[in-house]
Structure 1
Amino acid sequence: MPRFAHHFEAAADTLNAWYQAVAEVNLDGLIGLWIDEEFVSCICPDGAHLYGLPNIRAGLAAQFEAAPVSIEPLDIRVYDSLGTVVYAIVEAHRPVDPKAVPAMVFTTYVMVHERGEWRIAHIHSSRMPDEAASQFSAKLRRSLGALH
């Protein structure tokens, strides 16, 4: 009997959809990735705390208007259990201007399995201190090998 794939069957699909929607400045796409619960929350790299989908939507809209970015995951750690996946990721938030320096950000995504789909319940981001960003960049360059 054939097996039919479900939309966002894997939590990684939801995370990839998040990155794509951020790059496309697709606010509706981003909000559609969250669970529909009043307790959802998002702590942004600038320290803003957003609670509930209406506040998250407004906060993300303001951020996109001020400084749209694309996000490149550089180091991903995954912790999973039945019904919950936590991603701890080092990300480069790249401004639209290719000459601008990307911001290095630590982000944690908490996803829950709801009605057959993986949805975001919480995001916590914080800018990496300059010293830590330099150390991480050096470590990343060392691991790339001699040709990079």
Structure 2
Amino acid sequence: MSKAQKIAATVGGSADDIETSFYEALQTGDIDRLMACWADEDDVICIHPGGPRMVGLVAIRAAFESMFSNGNLRIAAQDVRKIEGLASSIHSVRERIGILTQEGPMDAFVMATNVYHKTAQGWRLVAHHASPGNPRENEDITAVPHVLH
């Protein structure tokens, strides 16, 4: 991948911008734009729902090219929760994925974790891990505050 493509992925200089570019590339099937979101590191990782861990840009690209060969994806990131640091940002994302079933089109929900690091080229994705899908949207479980009486 050329330096120009890597620089083009830095559309504002934040992890949020790279995440937006990543999900837009998923929806449009733009493999070059999607790959420009990834850090140029040997140990970047990606795990698709129920799949093996893919390590490295070659393996990740091949997996996404295979997904795109089946047509464009209907996928939207929603309900993002973030833990941010100076040089890293971890996003927990609820992904709404449109799927075609024998009963017709349906939505499924996947929980994904995206990890971004600030590199010399700007913010880049270093890990994407998505859980198996669920046909309904689950609520977040949070700690219930204790009330003193």
Decide: shared fold, TM above 0.5.
yes
Identity of aligned residues (%): 26
Residues in 2 aligned to 1:8 and 1:25: alpha-carbon distance in whole angstroms = 22
The 5-angstrom pairing of residues 97-112 of structure 1 reads 99-112=104-117
Kindly tell me the number of residue pairs found equivalent between the two proteins. Answer: 130
CA, structure 1 residues 18+134, in 2 after alignment: closer, same or farther (shift >3 Å)?
A: closer
Give the unaligned 5+ runs of structure 1.
1-5, 137-148
Residues in 2 aligned to 1:9 and 1:71: alpha-carbon distance in whole angstroms = 23
> Are 2:28 and 2:73, in contact at CA under 8 Å, matched by a contact in 1?
no
| CA deviation profile, 1:72-100 (whole Å, cap 9, x unmatched) | 12311000111000000111012489x51
Q: Which residue in 2 is equivalent to 1:120?
A: 125
Q: Secondary structure at the residue paired with 1:127?
A: coil
Q: Which residue in 1 is equivalent to 2:88?
A: 84
TM-score by length of 1: 0.78
Q: Which residue in 2 is equivalent to 1:141?
A: none
Letter in 2 for 1:22: L
The Cα RMSD (Å) is 2.4
Q: Which residue in 2 is equivalent to 1:39?
A: 43
| CA deviation profile, 1:14-54 (whole Å, cap 9, x unmatched) | 00000111111011111111110100000002323211000
Residues in 1 aligned to 2:41 and 2:57: alpha-carbon distance in whole angstroms = 8
TM-score by length of 2: 0.77
**Higher share of residues assigned helix:** 1
